[in-house]
Structure 1
Amino acid sequence: MKKIIISTLGIAALLFTTSCKNDFDTDVKDIPVTKGDADFSKYISLGNSLTSGYRDGALYSSGQNESYPSMIAMQMKLAGGGDFKQPLIPNDIGGFTNLPGFPGKLTLQIVKGSPTPVPSAPAAALDNVVSGAPYQNMGVPGAKSFHLVAPGYGSQAGLQTGTANPYFVRFASSPTTSVLADAMAQKATFFSLWIGNNDVLSYATNGGTNSQTVGGVTTYSVATVQTGNLDPTKYKSNDISDPAVVAGSIKGVLDGLKSVGTTKGVIANIPYVTSVPFFTTVPYNPLTPEALGANLAALNAGLYGPLKQALTAFGAGDRINLLSTTSPNPVLIKDVALKDLSAQLTAALTPSLGLPTATAFGQIFGQARQATKDDFILLTTSSVINSTVPNAPAPVNIYGISYPLENQHVLTKTEAGYVKTAIDAYNASIKSLADSYGLAFVDANSKMLELNGQSGISFDGVKYTAKFVTGGAFSLDGVHLTGRGYAVVANEFIKSINAKYRSTLPQVNPNNYSGVKFP
């Protein structure tokens, strides 16, 4: 059978003209630049990877130089803004040679005739740049909301226990400080805050796998978080953060900044993570009759037919249908929310399929079903579909076809519901806090939905969409933005700042920044 990977990516023109509404329609480029009611002389930005300029699966110098806060700071300089320093990675590859799990950036390469993102080898060991502090871009890749207020998040020793983050270790003022404490020490006149994405993202990008049993939600109290007492045996990175903890942590950041006189700023809400290419690129039904070829009939006769018959007898016939000979077919997945019919299927089907009686057939198909349009097949799963399952017996050993894709490969409708519920709760709190603290507010969620729409977003005749690789806005990891995508975000912040503080900061031109580099 044909290998089913991201071979459908066309190397189409990345930029093309369009009649869509131009976002520069709201620009103030023909008006003298003024600060309005704001003071931009010392601007700091707090957040996670999106704030740091992370892209292509890594943090590297040229990406940092195209972070959205650095773009905003550049425009603020026109209205009295000061210097804006970033803790730059000392190379343009990223990754850490002395830490597992930190490869260098993804690059687009031709693999077996198809354009494929390939990780680079990490370029250097974890460095320390605290001597150049303070830094105004305080975005920390991987940080969740409560990490900003957690003491010790920049401790070298904490890397061994899972309570610290190497990106903050690089520039933390001391092993016991917090991101918030270092921000407060700068006594900035203006701030931006975009945090909360990671409080649900890792749950989603790992297919809803986590350590909890009810919606993936952790139950840390705000008080526990603020003391830095994050027990790594209880806290798992794939959990969804309790909305009360997210709201309390963000409020803690705002209160801390307010206590040192930093009262003016801008805060953004959280986009639905399932609107990014990591979740929208691989279709739920990539198994075309042409790709399945002569195996289609054999699969229907030897697997899908018997499964359908047995499941119907157990009242679960809607889980499986015969493969179509004329239309694309859905992949086979495991849905842990389904009633487990392992014992029943083992007894009913092992003899009919000619498998050894010792084979735990039911464990393979007890919670199997075909994917639907409401499920999200992960970008990384594209290389798994149609591959051979280690240690699985033939003929039930082909991922997504004769063996269900496992939980970590798919975000099911149920799991996506948990994600949406959490994000809606986060965003309600963020908007309420923006209003109560008198801050400018960016509806990043609406902008991302607009970017993900059919018409996308246009700047000076160039159209940007959320389409993987060719849409121009997203980098090769399918989650983080390109320089052009970050420019779109920067403009949303600028527009909100101008509206709230009566400033006239000009927007940036996304077309002047970098996108995906083709081989």
Structure 2
Amino acid sequence: MKKILALMAFSGMLLSSCSDDDVTTPEEPTAPTPENFTAGSADFSNYVAIGNSLTAGYSDSALFIDGQTASYPNMLATSFMAAGGGSFSIPLMADNLGGLTLGGQALTGFGNRLILSFASGSPSPVAKDGAGATEVSTILSGPFNNMGVPGAKSFHLAAPGYGNIQNLAVGAANPYYVRFATSPDATIIGDAVAQSPTFFTLWIGNNDILSYATSGGAGVDQEGNLDPTTYGGNDITDPMVFAGVYDGLLQGLTAGGAQGVVANLPDVTTIPYFTTVPHNPVPLDADTAVLLNGAYAAYNGGLAQLQLAGLIDEDELERRTIAFEAGETNAVVLLDEDLTDLTAIDPALINMRQATEDDLLVLTSRSFIGSLADPDNPTSINGVAIPLADQWVLTPEEQAAVSAATEKYNATIEGLATRYDLGFVDANAFLQVVGSTGIDLSDGSTVTATYATGGGFSLDGVHPSPRGYSLLANEFLKVIEEKYGANLPDVEPLEYTGLYID
């Protein structure tokens, strides 16, 4: 059995300065001692990683130093050092908080990382206190081997101006890339190719689907629209656009003879963000159930009349009829745009129904369900008296759009991996295992996708924890060894935390 190497958390990287008190400057790492390790036919002397937040090491809803150094590319780079790999530079954040500032002011939507708080008596994720010191306008001097840019979609990698600070105000730039773009008109793929990589990893496309899913399907499936400049932030990218962009990325990366590995996209509906909140989380006593049923009686009666008139069928009547009972597991009420629109007949018959086990409630809904829509009205309970809006639920029809796009993107990735003679990591299949049976570790523990306690995912419910990233790194290493005949040290998952403690 191949010896497992406990990888150092800070490996082969060129450090940027940092000012957070929680951050210590690591000692210069030492390359692993060669023990019959070999690169095979690969050349790891200049490894460049291209991708989005998964490549950058994003976790707990933020990018921060400890997460960046626990990224899977940094783990791979350390393993590569045992077989001739070179240094690996990272565009480090300024601290372990993760928040961004622009002109000294906190940048909206880019807050501090999540930590578990016990202030309410039960553990819940909250943003870590403190003022982030990462100023977007402070441009870092590269080049950087980790070219992961959180939030980037496939077509963003080839978009000029995506790192131009002047474009931030109109949403046409990404503040993470602004920090280390080589020029205002640079592209992520251009900056990567300019480094003449000898080896690369490419994992991109998650955000082409993910933002639609996490918004509860609030975006648009843009299949048939070949102009990504017209897309909204939560839209699904057209599969033809994705295929063309992905082919272009690989053309650029391999033009100089670089070898590499690509990874496909996971089924995002299986991650903790969609599997943690049940469809029926509402506890009710008998009196409240009776009160609610009385409040919905007119709605149910109106539906019954329209069914008798032939305007909806029995299945839709049953699906839309709302009923509560005393107990701990009442389903929430939600809006569903795919129901028959009856408001022209009766404005009170809005498109609402109760959730079923086929609906996926987003993670953030758990703090919204049960809250009051009107603080002065104790009966205006969200998810009970007030139906949940589209953003809180991914319906079966919306899940089908996500699934169809994922299948098409993954077919493209695997096909192009074959055409360009690259290694192919089936990240989708691997993460399905994490979510179903879990991955057993050497100490007898099991890494699962259970929110907060499973060890595989961070507190945002979307991105892996450091331990989850280490498992993914080993999947990359397996493919690299098989494809290029290499013999490389594995990553030891137990060296990486399954959950940051503060």
TM-score range, shorter chain: 0.7 to 0.9
SS at 1:288 equivalent: strand
1:138-287 matches, cutoff 5 A: 138-210=147-219, 212=220, 215-217=221-223, 219-221=225-227, 230=229, 234-262=230-258, 264-287=259-282
SS at 1:295 equivalent: helix
CA shift at 1:302, angstroms?
2.8
CA distance in 1: counterparts of 2:195 and 2:95, whole angstroms: 27
Instruction: Provide the residue aligned with 2:453 in structure 1.
Output: 470
Q: Deviations over 1:220-249 (max 9, x none)?
A: 34xxx6xxxx3xxx3311000111111111
Instruction: Provide the residue aligned with 1:339 in structure 2.
Output: 340
Instruction: Provide the residue aligned with 1:350 in structure 2.
Output: none
Instruction: Provide the residue aligned with 2:441 in structure 1.
Output: 459
CA shift at 1:287, angstroms?
1.6
Q: Deviations over 1:380-402 (max 9, x none)?
A: 0111101111499775x211111
CA change 1:469–1:294 in 2 (3 A) is same
Q: Which has the higher contact order (CA 8 A, sep 6+)?
A: 1
Q: Deviations over 1:149-175 (max 9, x none)?
A: 111111111112211111011101001
Residue identity opposite 1:273 in structure 2: V
Instruction: Provide the residue aligned with 2:85 in structure 1.
Output: 81
Residue identity opposite 2:225 in structure 1: T
1:299-314 matches, cutoff 5 A: 299-303=292-296, 305-314=297-306
1:371-450 matches, cutoff 5 A: 371-390=355-374, 395=379, 397-450=380-433
Match of 1:481 among 446, 460, 464: 464
Cα contact 1:154–1:176 (8 A) shared by 2: yes
CA change 1:114–1:57 in 2 (3 A) is same
CA change 1:179–1:295 in 2 (3 A) is same
CA distance in 2: counterparts of 1:122 and 1:142, whole angstroms: 22
SS at 2:50 equivalent: strand
Cα contact 2:215–2:392 (8 A) shared by 1: yes
Instruction: Provide the residue aligned with 1:45 in structure 2.
Output: 49
Residue identity opposite 2:263 in structure 1: A
CA change 1:154–1:218 in 2 (3 A) is farther
CA change 1:344–1:411 in 2 (3 A) is same
CA distance in 2: counterparts of 1:293 and 1:78, whole angstroms: 66
Is 1:91 the equivalent of 2:75?
A: no
What is the TM-score when the length of structure 2 is the normalising length?
0.87
CA distance in 2: counterparts of 1:197 and 1:27, whole angstroms: 33
CA shift at 1:288, angstroms?
3.1
Residue identity opposite 2:440 in structure 1: S
Where structure 2 has 5 or more consecutive residues not aligned to the other structure, the ranges are 6-33, 308-315
Residue identity opposite 2:317 in structure 1: G
Instruction: Provide the residue aligned with 2:490 in structure 1.
Output: 507
SS at 1:153 equivalent: coil
CA change 1:269–1:297 in 2 (3 A) is same
Residue identity opposite 1:457 in structure 2: I
Match of 1:106 among 96, 110, 114: 114
CA distance in 2: counterparts of 1:366 and 1:480, whole angstroms: 36
SS at 2:241 equivalent: helix
Provide the aligned C-alpha RMSD in A: 2.1
CA distance in 2: counterparts of 1:299 and 1:411, whole angstroms: 25
Residue identity opposite 2:211 in structure 1: S
Cα contact 1:440–1:500 (8 A) shared by 2: yes
CA shift at 1:129, angstroms?
6.3
Residue identity opposite 1:369 in structure 2: R
CA distance in 2: counterparts of 1:393 and 1:344, whole angstroms: 29
CA shift at 1:322, angstroms?
2.0
Deviates more, 1:167-176 or 1:102-111: 102-111
SS at 2:165 equivalent: coil
SS at 1:132 equivalent: coil
CA shift at 1:72, angstroms?
0.4
Aligned residue pairs total 459
CA change 1:341–1:269 in 2 (3 A) is same
Instruction: Provide the residue aligned with 1:357 in structure 2.
Output: none
Q: Deviations over 1:263-312 (max 9, x none)?
A: x10000000111111110000111234xx453112112332x43333222
Instruction: Provide the residue aligned with 1:358 in structure 2.
Output: none
1:356-371 matches, cutoff 5 A: 362=348, 366-371=350-355
Percent identical: 44
SS at 2:334 equivalent: strand
CA shift at 1:127, angstroms?
3.8
Where structure 1 has 5 or more consecutive residues not aligned to the other structure, the ranges are 1-24, 347-361
CA change 1:124–1:44 in 2 (3 A) is same
CA distance in 2: counterparts of 1:498 and 1:27, whole angstroms: 14
CA shift at 1:431, angstroms?
0.4
